[in-house]
Amino acid sequence: MSIFTSIKMAMRNIKGNKMRALLTMLGIIIGVSSVITLVSIGQGSSQSVSESINDLGTNLLTVNISNTDIPFTLDDVDKVKEIDGVKNVSPVLSGRVTLKNGKTTSTVSFTGSNASYEDVRNLSISNGRFITDIDMDYRQKVVVLGSDTATTLFGRENPVDQKVLVNGESYRVVGVLASKGGSMGQNSDDTVIIPFSTAQRLLGTTHITQFYAQADSQDTINRTMLMIERNLYEVFGDADSYSVANQQDVMDTMSSVNDTMTMLLGGIASISLLVGGIGIMNIMFVSVTERTKEIGIRKSIGAKRKDILLQFLIEAIVLSALGGIIGVGLGLLATKIYTLATGSVAAYSLSVILASFLFSLAVGVIFGVFPANKASKLNPIQALRFE
Amino acid sequence: MMVEAIIHMRDLIKQYQMGDTTVTALDHASITVKKGDFVSIVGPSGSGKSTLMNIIGCLDHPDSGEYILEGQTVDKMKDYQLATIRNENIGFIFQNFNLLSRLTAVENVELPLIYRGTKAKERREMAMESLKKVGIADRAGHLPHQLSGGQQQRVAIARALVGEPPILLADEPTGALDSQTSKEIMEVLSQLNQQGHTIILITHDPEVAKMGKRMVRISDGKLSEVGMNEHEYLHIH
């Protein structure tokens, strides 16, 4: 008997019992679609994380200062800038502020920093200008708006040179940032940037707890990092008071966390695929028992063991393949819905789609063999007598 | 004139173990069936009838003895070889028709050809031809449950015929039919015999058995040819 005839026969049997076929396939459908959805979302998020970290520039060092007993001042930051191999430094202060323009209010995160911050964080201005050194020196009440914040407060109006209330005080808008999109649960477009000195006054603090240092190039970053660490050790006399983090380290950590998550999700989903396979095996066993008489008839007419084995095996494979195809469709659909609903990115990977489909096929073969073998071994005389 | 023997069985023994006792279903059974013959095998239930039929139909092996079918010694063949023998040499006709309920009449008739590897188009033509022979071509597209018992049995006969096997093996073919339909089915079988098909009919009913040209009685696993006189006697009564 040809394979084609066998597949046609299997399709007929499946069509003859649609509800059961659907329920049998359900495990495979859920398994395949969840593997695809979860892995796509996981890979999408790790991709966007590494992209956003790359956006910051891989020659960026983040310095956090945990010791507040010894004041770390702008002068100290300037000394770091003197170090050979350091291109720029930007002290940062951040928190949340309430903005108000007329009747529109909005609470957003703010960052206080200096003129270098634009370069250090790879920001770009779409309108107006960035903060300048003069703004720093004179503690100017000027503000640069993120693109979303600008739209929220001013709509389609040009916000540059307009007044906005920041925590009740009047600030002048000097520029608007170009849109960068969000990542890691942060929307970098919904933010404002003010001069560092102004931010210190706003928060009533003189300490610096964090600053960015930009190295001349990525090649020398490790040496620069050591130099900064040595400089900080001189200031604090204690290596626990500060930490210097390399962007690459952060990226490696993030992507390894993400990879683990993706593996975990994929693993859990694969288990549901396996459970789906057991479902198929179960139904195939029931089907063999139900069709004992049919097997007897076919054998009496001249079907060989091989023919019966193939018939049931192909039926199991067709079931799991159908389930796999539906699962792939459903998985892509679910991923699409997720990305549309949350605005995040998903990375479809052809290899994952193919792998989960092939896995479902393999599940059909592995779990179809046992029932098919049972069917093929039935004694025709006893099978014919079965009612 | 020498007519060649299609079936030649000698000293067949088949025993079953039923708990502690051994039941001898066939006890040195011997029979020869010639081409074009119409043999009725009669016997009450428990006489070894079914066992004999299973062995003639190559569904079972004898414990000992010789069975030559169409010149091939089949008593020691492997299961897969027997499957081929069944497919090519035997056309089964069952008491309960044994049609596959999900397949239409013509698809049921095609089944033996599917296992023989015949091409789809040729298969359909042969199946339709076979249905025509038993006078039921107009119901080719019907499912078994849409057909009456007699019609289903005709489809089953068409299925047995389609591969042109040398032997038609009918096991109580009228057992599930009323007397009028039984008569029609027996007529179909008689006609097929007149067209040259060799038929072995197994039944417990002497009325049905007398349709055969020859009658063999089976009791306690032993076969005995029923003499012409007794045959005539059965015809009269």
Percent of chain A with pLDDT over 90: 30
| B2 band by pLDDT with thresholds 50, 70 and 90 | low
A273-287 mean pLDDT? 88
Q: Where are the domains of chain B?
A: 5-236
**To which H or E segment does residue B11 belong?**
strand B5-18
What pLDDT is stored for residue B230 in this prediction? 54
Q: List the single range of A140-149, A234-243, B109-118 with lowest mean pLDDT.
A: A234-243
Q: How far is A6 from chain B (nearest CA, A)?
A: 10
Query: pLDDT at residue B53 above 50?
Result: yes
Alpha carbon distance B50, B58 (integer Å): 12
| B47 band by pLDDT with thresholds 50, 70 and 90 | confident
Q: Which residues of A touch B112 (CB under 8 A)?
A: 301-302
Contact yes or no for B115 and A5 at CB 8 A: no
- Contact indicator for A131, A194 with CB cutoff of 8 Å: yes
Considering only CA atoms, which of A220, A210, A211 is closest in space to residue A86?
A: A220
**To which H or E segment does residue B185 belong?**
helix B179-194
Interface residue of B84, B115, B167 to substitute, partner A, most A CBs within 10 Å: B115
Contact yes or no for B86 and A302 at CB 8 A: yes
Interface residue of A4, A291, A301 to substitute, partner B, most B CBs within 10 Å: A301
Residues A341-375 have pLDDT tens digits of 887 788 888 888 998 899 889 988 999 999 999 99
The answer to whether A8 contacts chain B (CB < 8 Å) is no
> Distance of CA A225 to CAs A90, A233, A239, A240, B115, Å?
15, 12, 14, 16, 77
Residues A230-278 have pLDDT tens digits of 888 888 888 888 888 887 777 778 778 888 888 888 888 888 888 888 8
Phi, psi of A107 (to 5 degrees): -105, 125
Alpha carbon distance A264, A328 (integer Å): 19
Residue with tokens 């069936």: B33
The answer to whether B88 contacts chain A (CB < 8 Å) is yes
Please report which residue ranges of A291-304 form alpha helices under DSSP H: 292-301
Helix A18-56 and helix A3-15: axis angle, to 10°? 100
What pLDDT is stored for residue A190 in this prediction? 86
Contact yes or no for B60 and A381 at CB 8 A: yes
What pLDDT is stored for residue B231 in this prediction? 52
For A302, the closest of B54, B60, B84 (CB atoms) is B84
What pLDDT is stored for residue B48 in this prediction? 87
Q: Which residues of B touch A305 (CB under 8 A)?
A: 79-80, 83
Q: Where are the domains of chain A?
A: 3-52+253-385, 68-237
Query: pLDDT at residue B1 above 50?
Result: no
Residues B156-174 have pLDDT tens digits of 999 999 999 999 999 999 8
**To which H or E segment does residue A150 belong?**
helix A147-154
Q: CA of B61: which chain A residue's CA is closest?
A: A381
Pairing of strands A186-187, A191-195: unpaired
Q: For domain B5-236, give its CATH number from 1.10.3720.10, 3.30.160.250, 3.40.50.300, 3.30.70.260.
A: 3.40.50.300
| B131 band by pLDDT with thresholds 50, 70 and 90 | very high
Residues A109-121 have pLDDT tens digits of 899 999 988 888 8
Q: CA of B55: which chain A residue's CA is closest?
A: A381
A117-146 mean pLDDT? 89
At B183, is the secondary structure helix, strand, or coil? helix
Q: How far is B227 from chain A (nearest CA, A)?
A: 32
Q: How far is A271 from chain B (nearest CA, A)?
A: 35
Query: pLDDT at residue B141 above 60?
Result: yes
Alpha carbon distance B6, B169 (integer Å): 13
Q: Which residues of A touch B110 (CB under 8 A)?
A: none
The verdict on ipTM greater than 0.85 is yes
Residues A88-107 have pLDDT tens digits of 899 999 889 999 988 888 99
What is the length of chain A? Answer: 387
Residues A51-64 have pLDDT tens digits of 777 766 678 888 88
Query: pLDDT at residue A4 above 70?
Result: yes
Query: pLDDT at residue A137 above 60?
Result: yes
Contact yes or no for A294 and B100 at CB 8 A: yes
For A13, the closest of B60, B86, B102 (CB atoms) is B102
Q: What pairs with residue A194 in β-bridges?
A: A112
Residues B9-21 have pLDDT tens digits of 999 999 988 888 8
The answer to whether A299 contacts chain B (CB < 8 Å) is yes
Query: pLDDT at residue A186 above 80?
Result: no
Alpha carbon distance B69, B89 (integer Å): 8
The answer to whether B40 contacts chain A (CB < 8 Å) is no
State the count of interchain CB pairs (< 8 A) between A and B. Answer: 60
Q: Which residues of B touch A295 (CB under 8 A)?
A: none
Q: Which residues of A touch B84 (CB under 8 A)?
A: 302, 304
> Distance of CA A259 to CAs A359, A366, B199, Å?
21, 29, 73
What pLDDT is stored for residue B63 in this prediction? 92
Query: pLDDT at residue A181 above 70?
Result: no
What pLDDT is stored for residue B236 in this prediction? 44
Considering only CA atoms, which of A149, A147, A180 is closest in space to residue A166?
A: A149
Considering only CA atoms, which of A339, A260, A379 is closest in space to residue A48?
A: A339
Q: List the single range of A226-230, A259-263, B188-192 with lowest mean pLDDT.
A: A259-263
Query: pLDDT at residue B237 above 50?
Result: no
B178-192 mean pLDDT? 91
Query: pLDDT at residue B105 above 90?
Result: yes
Contact yes or no for B98 and A298 at CB 8 A: no
For A303, the closest of B83, B98, B120 (CB atoms) is B83
Interface residue of B14, B79, B113 to substitute, partner A, most A CBs within 10 Å: B79
For A301, the closest of B54, B80, B112 (CB atoms) is B112
Q: What is the mean pLDDT of chain B?
A: 89
Residue with tokens 């026969």: A9
The answer to whether A7 contacts chain B (CB < 8 Å) is no
Alpha carbon distance B39, B214 (integer Å): 5
- Contact indicator for B181, B4 with CB cutoff of 8 Å: no
Q: CA of B50: which chain A residue's CA is closest?
A: A381
Contact yes or no for A305 and B83 at CB 8 A: yes
Burial class of residue A133 in the structure, from the number of CB atoms within 10 Å of its CB (0-12 exposed, 13-18 middle, 19+ buried): exposed
> Distance of CA B85 to CAs A91, A301, B6, B164, Å?
92, 10, 13, 13
Q: CA of A380: which chain B residue's CA is closest?
A: B59
Contact yes or no for B117 and A2 at CB 8 A: yes
- Contact indicator for B199, B229 with CB cutoff of 8 Å: no
Pairing of strands B38-42, B198-203: parallel
Q: How far is A369 from chain B (nearest CA, A)?
A: 19
Q: Which residues of B touch A20 (CB under 8 A)?
A: none
Q: CA of A386: which chain B residue's CA is closest?
A: B98
Q: Which amino acid is at A65?
A: I
Q: How far is A21 from chain B (nearest CA, A)?
A: 16
B71-83 mean pLDDT? 90
Contact yes or no for A300 and B79 at CB 8 A: no
The answer to whether B87 contacts chain A (CB < 8 Å) is yes
Residue with tokens 């119901």: B139
Alpha carbon distance A344, A341 (integer Å): 8
